Structures are given as C-alpha cells and as structure tokens.
Chain A
Amino acid sequence: MTAKALILAGYGLNCEEETLHGFEHAGLSGQIRHINDLIEAPQELEDVQILAIPGGFSYGDDTGAGNAYAQKLKLALWEPLQKFIERDTLTLGICNGCQILTNLGLNPPAGTPYGDRKIAVTYNETARYQCRWIDLKITSTSPWLSGIERMHIPVAHGEGRFMMDETTLKTLQDQGQIAAQYIKPDGTPANGEFPYNPNGSLNDIAAITDPSGRVLTIMPHPERAMFTSQRDDYMKLKDTARREGKPVPETTDGMALFHNAARYFEVAQKKSA
C-alpha cells in the first residue's frame, strides 16, 4: 500500500500544487482537498496517512495570519483532526499552514493538551513581508527531519515571528520541540540579526514540532527548494557543474522532507539524480 497525503486548499491557500508535487516526487500519492469538501466528508482523513496544510494567504492574513482558517477548521473539523493526529500519522504545516496549525494549538509544548494556544506566529519585527533565502540548523528528531542537519531554503512571509512565554520556550527546548533555527551562512546562530533571522523570531525559531515530533510546523518553504533550479545560487551551481563536466543534481535540501515522509511509511523511493 502506498501512503496517501491530503493537502488542504481553499480560501487563499496557494502552495498546494507544489506541495503535492513534493510528495508525489518522493513516491507518495496525494490529493488536494478544498476545506469545504473535507468538511462535507471528514472521514477522508481516516484513509490518509499524511495531512499537509500548505503555504498561502488564507483569508488574506486578516485578523492575524492563519487565524480565520484555524477558526474554521476548529469549528468544523476539530474531532477528526484530533483523531488523525493521535493515529500514527504525519502532519505538516508550511508557512501559512504553520500559522494555521499554531493557531489551532496543534504544536503545543509537552504537557499542554492539543488545542491550547501557547505559541503565536505574529508580525515580523520589520512589519514587512520578506521573501529571501535563509539557512537553517535542524535540531530535531522529528521523522520529517531525520538525517537533515542544515537546510538552505526560502522564507516568504509577513508574519513569521514565533512568540511565547518563557515557560513555553523552556519546555520546547527541553523536549526537543524546536525543530529548526535560523543561522548565518557560516553556521553560527543568527542571534536575532536581520536578515539571517528574517522576522525577529524568538530564539531564532523557524520550526516547531508537537511533543511526538510527527506534527511539523515550519515557516520556511521546503517545497520551494526541492529542485536545484529553484535555488538562489542555481546559476553558480550549474556553471560550476558544467566546468567540472558533471551533471547538475536534480534535487536539493527541501526534498529531503518529502523523502523522509515516504521513508516513514516505508514507501519505495523514486530514484533521483
């Protein structure tokens, strides 16, 4: 059996197609579902192993990024969602999806039940949308991130700053729930310094998992860094490859996430260059 991914859409989410492509490239099967269709048939969640809420601009970020979509999910799909997460499944929220899952309280600090909001993802310190490539240090044993140490991938958001109280932060740190942190290209911590930390996020946090590690909420976009041609340094990489007489590697950092999901469900990997 091939594990199946369900990717939510609707109301301004907009990265569903490339996110689906990532799963399919990794050998998984997947389908895009409009939230209203899932509300009509919530039992669909019982037939899938992966739920992804992709990036986008649901409800135009009005009333806080991800808030309104989260409210809609909470009202209409809370129980099926909880059941889904309790099963041995994987859940991924990228960018707007991260904001939505955080607003739903689905990445709580250990000891806090799902649904309690202890963490916020709010306006960038610059109060300005930022689209740029950043570097991440991966500090998690989440199945989504296994074997990954660093990633060079882009952010694209106006509200990507994780905020929480000190107790919550400490719990996340102690429980290994901080999944990724912004670093400088030389590997040292960004220490809040713009543009390495593009949003002023507390403790340079870029991604968080739930206590189980199976729910990953990540602000940067792995699905925009799956192929080498998507990279900001692609021109240099392909030039170097040509001079050395080598082919340009097809995939790059972000694809590892999707491969990890496939590996978790023991799906045969597609061979890639």
Chain B
Amino acid sequence: MITRIEVLASPEDGRGKTLEKALKAKGKTATVRVVDVYTSEHTKARSAKFKSSLANPVTQKLDSLPNNFDWALEIGYLPGVTDNVGHTAAELLKLAGAENDNDCFSSRLYLIKGDLEQSDIEKLSQNLSNSLIQRATIKSAAEFKADGGMNVIVPKVHLDNKGAVADNIDLNVSDEELETIGSAGIVNKDGSRRGPLGMSLLYMQAVRDYFAREGRPATDIELETIAQTWSEHCKHTIFASPIDNVAEGLYKGYIKRATKEIRKEKGENDICVSVFSDNAGGIIFDENYLITDKVETHNSPSALDPFGGAITGIVGVNRDCIGFGQGAKPIINRYGFCLADPRTSPEYYRDKNCTISVLSPETIMKGVIDGVEAGGNQSGIPTPQGFVTFDDRFVGKPLVFVGTIGLIPRKINGKPGHVKKANPGDKIVVAGGRVGRDGIHGATFSSVALDEGSPATAVQIGDPITQKKMSDAIIKEIRDLGWYSAITDNGAGGMSSSIGEMAEQSGGFHVELDKVPLKYPGMAPWEIWISESQERMTMAVPPENTDKLIELFARRGVEATIVGTYTDDGRAKITYNGETIMDMDMDFLHDGNPETPLTTTFTRGSEAEPDMDEPTDHTETLLDLLGRLNICSKEFISTQYDHNVQGSAVMGPLQGPGRVYAETSITKPVLTSEKGVVLSQGLFPRYSDIDTAAMAAAGLDLAVRNAIAAGVDLNQLALLDNFCWCSSDEPERLGQLKRAVETIYEMAVKYETPFISGKDSMFNDFKGFDADGNAIKISAPPTLLVSSIGVIPDVERSIDLAPKAVGDLVYLLGATKDECGAGEYYDHLGHLGNNVPETDSHQNLRLYKLYGRAARDRLIASAYALNYGGLGVALAKKAIASQMGMDIDLSAIDSELRSDKLLYSESTGRILVTVAPQDKDAFEKNFKTYEHYTMIGHIAYGNKLNIKNILEIDIKILDKAYKQPLKDY
C-alpha cells in the first residue's frame, strides 16, 4: 500500500510567486500553485497524525488540490539520489509511530494556469530540474483528470547483486587488455565495464607484477582500492613526479620547500603548526587556539549537477576541518566560482549526435550559488568571503572553489590538539550517513558513469543536517571527552581512502565490510568500500571507548558503527561475512605506484601591444568597465549567504553604505577575544594567455595585498594554493605549470608567507561537440587561486574599503606601469596585448612593511587593493562605497602614461587609501622613504567622482553601472 500525501500551499506562497515572476519575465502570464508531495509505503503514513504533521494549517491544505489549472508538473528524485526532505518526512513518520527504518520520498508538484503550451512547460521543467538526478512528469489538466491525478512513484533502489562477494580478475593478459582495464574498468559478466580505474599501463603492469609475487589473482576490490589510492586525485602524481631537472617534483621541490625555508627563517616567529600533513593547514590564532584552513575544488561534479556538486563540495571541505587534528570547529566558509557569462547560451554537447547539451552558464551559475548557500547556511557556518570570475572558457567545466576555516584548542586533554594517531588495536568506527552507490568512481567519472539506466547515480547531493548532527556531536562533545585517538573524513575514495590513510599510522587494518550500514541492500563489497557517500567521519577508537561513543552518537541522532580494527601486521585486509576478499601489503598499496617522469616546454603567449587612440569619452569607458562581469557587484550572492551566524562578523562582503562587494573579510571567531581572522583570495586566469608566471604572481600578490590592506601584518599571514590546470598531459601545459610554481615559490619566500595547504585539479578540459557535431576541446585557462589567512591582534585595527569622511585625503601607493596586457581594459576593447602585469615582489615587500606600520598606528581610514580594472575602477568603487564625492587629479602621479593606461593598467602591488587630515603628517612621515606614494585628491562634498580634465560622473550613475548587470539573478 502506497500513500501519497499532497500538501497545497497558499496562493501567496513565495515559491509560486517567484515562478510566476520568472514566467512573466519570459512574456508568459500564469498563476502557479505549489504542492509538496510525500510518498511512502509505510502503513503509518496513512495516519492523520503523520499527515497533519506535514501541513501548516494556516498556509497549507492537505489532500485537496484545486481543479482550475491547465498543467501539472511534478519533479521528484531518481532512485538513490539523496532526498533530504524525504529524510525529514521519514523522521516525522518515526514520531508518528513508525519503526526506525522507513522510507519517505518527497517531490514537488506545480499546478499552472495560464496561456502556456506543452513546450513552455517542458522548458520550465528543464529550468527547474536536472535529468541526471531528477524525474519530471508533465500532465495537461485533461490527462490529470483522466488518470485521476499524478502518477504515484516510489523511487526505491532495487539492486540484484545477490551473492556477489568479490570477483577474481585475471591480469595475465595482453598489455592492450591491461590498458583497457585501466582506462575503461573491470569487465562485468555481461561484458559491460564497471567504469574507469584511471590507471596507466605502467601502473597496471606494476599491479600485475605485485599479484604475480603474491602468487594469486587480484580481486575486484583490490584493483579498485589500488586505483583509488594511486589516483591523481589522491596521490597528486603530477605534482609528485620528477619534472625536467627537478627530481623531487613540483610539490616537494617548490611548494613544500618554500614553507620549510620560511619557517626556518622566521624561527621563533613561525606561525605554522601543522602544514601539508593533515586534512587542512593550521596556524597559531592565540595562546589558546589554532586556526585551520583548507580550500578544495569540486569542478567536474559541478559541471553535471551544479547544485549537487557545490553543496557536496562545501560540506566536504567542512569535513576536512572537522577531520583536522582531533577535530576543528568550522567557523568560516569561503567560495569562489569561475564561470562563463550567464547571459549567453553557447551550444555545446557531450555527444556527437547533439542530444546531450551542456548546462547553460546561467543554470550552472545559479546551481553552484545555491549549492554553497544550502550547505553553508544549513550548517550554521558564516560565508563572508568569496569571488566570482568570468571567462567563457569555463563554459564546459566551471571551477568551483570551496574553503573552510576551523578553530581548535591548542591543547585538548593535555595533548596537542593537532596531533592524532591510530593505534594498533583501535576499532575502526564510521559515524554519520549510510553508504549507497553515490559517487562511485567519483574522482574519475565521465558521462559513461552517468547512464540513466544506473539506479543510483554517480552524482551526489550533500545532506548538511546529517552532517551538522555528526559535527556537533564530535566537535562540541566527543572530542573533548578524548574517546578517539584519531579522526579523518571520508571524501574521495570513501572508506578506502580514510581507513587506508589512518592505517598508515598503525601499520595495517582489518575491515569487516559486512558491518557497514547501507542505504539499500544489494551492493557489492567493492562498491561499499569505495563509495563516496557523504557525511561520514572515520575514527580510531580504543576498544574500551566504543560502547559509550556509539551510545552518545545515538543520543545525538547519529549512527556510528564498528567496521573493523587497526592492526600493525602491515596488511590491508578486508573480509566480507568471514571470507577474505582483500589482503594486500600496505607498503605496496601506498608506495607501489611507479614514478612517471615528466618533461616540459614553454612558450610565452602574447600579441603586439594594440595601436589605439585614447578613448574620446572617458565616462563611457569607466561605466562600461564597471559593468563588466569581473568587476560589477555580486551582492545578490552575499545576501543569500549567511555571513553573520556565530556572531563573529566584523568586516563583511558588502562594504560601506554603498555596499561594494569586497573580496576580503574579517571575522572575530572567539566571542571573548578581540583577535580577528582576515581572509582574502586572488586569481587572474586571463593573464595565463600571456604568461602563467605573471598569472601566478598577480594572484598571490593580490591575496596578500588584500589582507595587508585590511590591516594584517605580513608576518601573521599564511597562504593556500589551488592549481586548476588543463591538459596536464601536454608538455606545454606542464611547462606553464612549472613556471607558475617556480614563481610562487620565489614570491612566498620573499614575502615570508608560508603555504600551509593546497590542492590541485589538473584536467579542467571539456571534450565534446559543437552544434554541428564537430569534436571540440575547451580548456579552462590555467588558473592558480591563492587564498590568504591571517590574524589581526585587535579587530578595531581592521580597515575596509569605504572612505569615511569628507575632506579625507586620497593617496595612491605603488607604481603604475604600462601594464594593460590581458587586463579588463584591453579585453573590453578586444585586445590581449603583450604587457601583462609583472610583479616586483621586492618593491611590494617594501610597501607592505611600511603600510603595516601605518595600519598599526591607525593612520589609514580606508584602503582598497587595486585589481581588475586598475585605478579607475578603484576610484569608482570607493565613491560608490562611501556615497561621497571625490576630487582627483592624476597629474600628481609621476608617470609618463597616457590617462587611459594610468586609469586601467592592472599593475600589481598598489593600494588606494584615504587618510584623515589630522593624520596627514604622520602618514607622510611613515612613507618618507618610499618613492611611490602620491596624494591624488580628496573626498569631496557633492555627489560626483571628478577626475580633473578626464571625467566627472554622478555617483548614482556609477552605482547603477556597477550594480545593474547581475541585479536580477
């Protein structure tokens, strides 16, 4: 017996009203009624008690649909897709008397009345749903009536995998077949393949040789485990491999070395505590706490299901924080999106027949924004800092960056909070959500894995509340009871990674895979082992603590289960109902992957500098630039992201009364401490079109300079690197990579800003077809995101970008050079140019140290680190932020540059500040030894930005140009 419950919302419902508005924008007048639908097979679902618990009597009606509609559109989830509303309904069903394990499924029905064709409804359905994870049913009123309503669908997963334990895989086959197993996966009995292992022939040969030494065939679960452990995603083979003459590889040879050298140089003033060894990096916050930081990417999943990809990304990086040391409390989230222009509709397809279209840039943008919103807001973590960068080459593969900052006591139960170790004999306990087929082969999936025939899709959707319950239980209670000896999160590779990594500390593991709680029966052991089902943490728990730990989790509504034991016998062992299905040497598993040396080439890209006249209308140029996507306001994102939960907000994403979208934030994470955490980021993907060294340098410099401008001392600042590269199997791309890595090594050492954590994503290429079915490849521009995190001793020292008072003086700090290459101004005019901004870290360092002293003395009333669009945009943003006039005279600047280049050059290392007249002398004295500080004007009465002899624009007009482009998203 299936019960379907329909809850009709009031005609005033905001969700219906918003759809009506969206239809109206497309020229269609309609009324939309929203119906929340719940479906369950449980007998208790028929009870009035359960039904009434789903409907609000003031605004909703139970099981009484109106009949005055023309179309009915229902959207529900496909089998196996995380259905959070369904989960909550199942909890309510439990309250109504159902036993523990019951299923409820949610769907949403729209009843639409208006002048709409079937094709309009289909279009609406496509906008509201994603066929990878959802089903949509459309009925006309007549069909609805004839059928007696909508179809009753119970999207349960049915797997017929009975009896399968583990298959032996014969590796004594031709190299050709070995290569195919590596690239397309193990062969099923029906001849199909299980999906890519992502292993090269070289790797497959090493595996074959290992099992020859063991004297037995490999099992499927062993192969899958090796593939996960050796994957680029987990081993970072490109950064680890010897490259040209750098035998240690890029990671050890540059990134890690930079940190090592900086820490040594700083000696007693070293701020690092845990670098590159844990799920996140950790630096000193104060005498009691560390702060941790980690930035991840979730690019491929977000291309296919933007919402699912982004929410899984953000709750995933939250777990990196929870899994730092003995467990850090997530205190801040940050985000960054690299996207194609949402106002365009490029036609690209995944298949040659042009039937499977890539998602539109608008769909991707809305989806990734919503995903981070849902994940962050529901987890109660503020999201004050982020950015969005646009380039049409992100069309097939957007870049989705998600980061989480954590807070952890330096001492927990007398032991250092960042230290943990799984000991032999400790029980392996997994807590949180159950395991399904979600995200199998997540690191390597392709469209093959997204066959609509597979019931549980490879795309995952995060469940923030399950995670929040787990996180609270760990961070707010269990951690401080000292009941576990180590903890880590389950991310890529699932248990195979988390248990495998922790077992390196103890020296082995024995997992009893039949003990793992499943979402539905019928999964094969290898699937259970590598499933990336979300919201799980793995712990090493001394046997005497397991009972009380599991009981406390249960009292917090969290399932925790013992799934095995950490050992010291050097073996990675798995049994399933007593039968051994995996038994490998730990050393081989973790270090058996053969080295693959890489070689590189490099050619600078560029065009000649364009030969062009100065604009005749400077006003128009500035307004155009303010409206460019990389410059204009993204306020609509900031207001959707809870940026003041935890009561810790100090400097938010919207600054000044004019609400300028800023990319630097300050947070006061401990209510009783005046210290603040300063965050920022920097990236310039387009600079790679000329030189990846310039791209990397500018990104690092901006991440540092934004933080410095906000008031952090350079010696209290640390960095994170996220490389998002493309085609990383090509020597030229590797050459660009090496150049970028060398550059940031040199700069970090110069600034003495250590890297504490990083991540790379090496193949951001879209391979598909254009509208004519021609094969195409669109590569994302090689992109390095540098994120900065620093500590400010008193938030009263923080500096935002908004000028404060009429009469304040405006100073430009730093040199402006002829550097418009690959910048916003040239791109606006259709040029690339040659003169990409080159970063002079020596000069910058001089400035940042002097600035730091001025900031400590509180001589700076506002500051903005120049970036996209240079000085012209910076002046406009300051005027908009303060809603005050400005009188500027550029002739004060000692420069040969013509005015358009002076205004729009993107030379790095510059800060535009305002200073109170009373601080003028002290300020100028502070910078006495520095050549490049120039007073260029003052904050003025009136409502105009006036740049002498160049332009005069009303602030209202600037404001509109800046806020208009994305206002309606």
Footprint of B on A, CB under 8 Å?
A: 9-12, 14-15, 17-18, 21, 34, 36-37, 55-57, 59-64, 67-68, 71-72, 75, 103, 117-120, 122-132, 154, 156, 158, 161, 163-165, 200, 221, 223-224, 226-227, 229-230, 232-236, 238-240, 242-243, 248
Contacts and interface: CB of A to CB of B under 8 A. Distances in A.
B250 interface: no
A102 to B, nearest CB: 9
Contact of B92 (A17, A63, A156): A63
B464 interface: yes
B642 interface: yes
A226 B646 CA distance: 12
Interface in B753-802: 795-796, 798-800, 802
B651 interface: yes
Contact of A57 (B18, B106, B380, B800): B380
Interface in B462-507: 463-465, 468-469, 472
A131 B643 contact: yes
A122 B36 contact: no
B551 to A, nearest CB: 12
Contact of B800 (A71, A223, A235, A240): A235
Contacts of B513: none
Nearest to A117: B57
Given A71-B95, A123-B15, A156 B465 contact: no
6 contacts: A15-B647, A60-B88, A63-B92, A163-B59, A243-B918, A248-B796
Contacts of B639: 130-132
A156 B802 contact: no
Interface string B337-377: 00000000000000000000000000000000000010001
A117 B465 contact: no
Interface stretch (B6-14, B418-426, B834-842): B6-14
What are the 10 A-B residue pairs with the smallest beta carbon separation, nearest first? A14-B380, A62-B88, A18-B647, A123-B14, A120-B58, A127-B18, A127-B14, A57-B378, A62-B85, A60-B465
Contacts of A11: 465, 469, 557
Contacts of A233: 657
A57 B377 contact: yes
Contacts of B15: 123, 127
B655 interface: yes
Given A36-B555, A224-B647, A229 B795 contact: yes
A242 B652 contact: no
Contacts of A164: 58
Contact of B472 (A10, A124, A163): A10
Given A18-B671, A60-B84, A36 B556 contact: yes
Given A21-B671, A127-B14, A154 B644 contact: yes
Given A36-B555, A71-B95, A122-B14, A59 B465 contact: yes
B464 to A, nearest CB: 6
Contact of A37 (B472, B555, B643): B555
B763 to A, nearest CB: 34
Nearest to B882: A236
B938 interface: no
Nearest to B794: A229
Scoring B17, B18, B58, B557 by chain A CB atoms within 10 A of each residue's CB, the highest score goes to B58
Contact of A64 (B10, B56, B469, B654): B56
Interface string B123-161: 000000000000000000000000000000000000000
Contacts of B53: 63, 67-68, 71
A126 B805 CA distance: 35
Contacts of B54: 63, 67
A195 B183 CA distance: 54
Interface in B913-958: 916, 918
Given A117-B57, A131-B639, A239 B469 contact: no
A232 B652 CA distance: 8
Given A55-B645, A131-B639, A230-B647, A12 B465 contact: yes
Given A57-B377, A62-B84, A221 B644 contact: yes
A21 B646 CA distance: 11
A12 B18 contact: no
B403 to A, nearest CB: 19
B900 interface: no
B89 A9 contact: no
A70 to B, nearest CB: 9
B861 A239 contact: yes
B647 A21 contact: yes
Contacts of B463: 60
B641 interface: yes
A171 to B, nearest CB: 14
B646 A68 contact: no
A9 B861 CA distance: 41
Interface string B643-676: 1111111111011110000000000100100000
A126 B10 contact: no
Contacts of A75: 95
B91 interface: yes
Scoring A15, A118, A164, A242 by chain B CB atoms within 10 A of each residue's CB, the highest score goes to A242
A125 B14 contact: yes
Contact of B646 (A18, A119, A243, A248): A18
Contacts of A221: 644
B628 interface: no
Contacts of B56: 64, 67, 103, 117, 120, 122
Given A21-B671, A127-B18, A236-B657, 9 more contacts: A9-B472, A10-B469, A63-B88, A122-B10, A123-B13, A127-B17, A235-B656, A235-B804, A236-B804
Given A62-B88, A129-B640, A156-B645, A163 B918 contact: no
A130 B84 CA distance: 22
A118 B59 CA distance: 10
Contact of A161 (B14, B91, B641, B649): B14
Contacts of B668: 229
Given A21-B647, A71-B92, A129 B17 contact: no
B393 interface: no
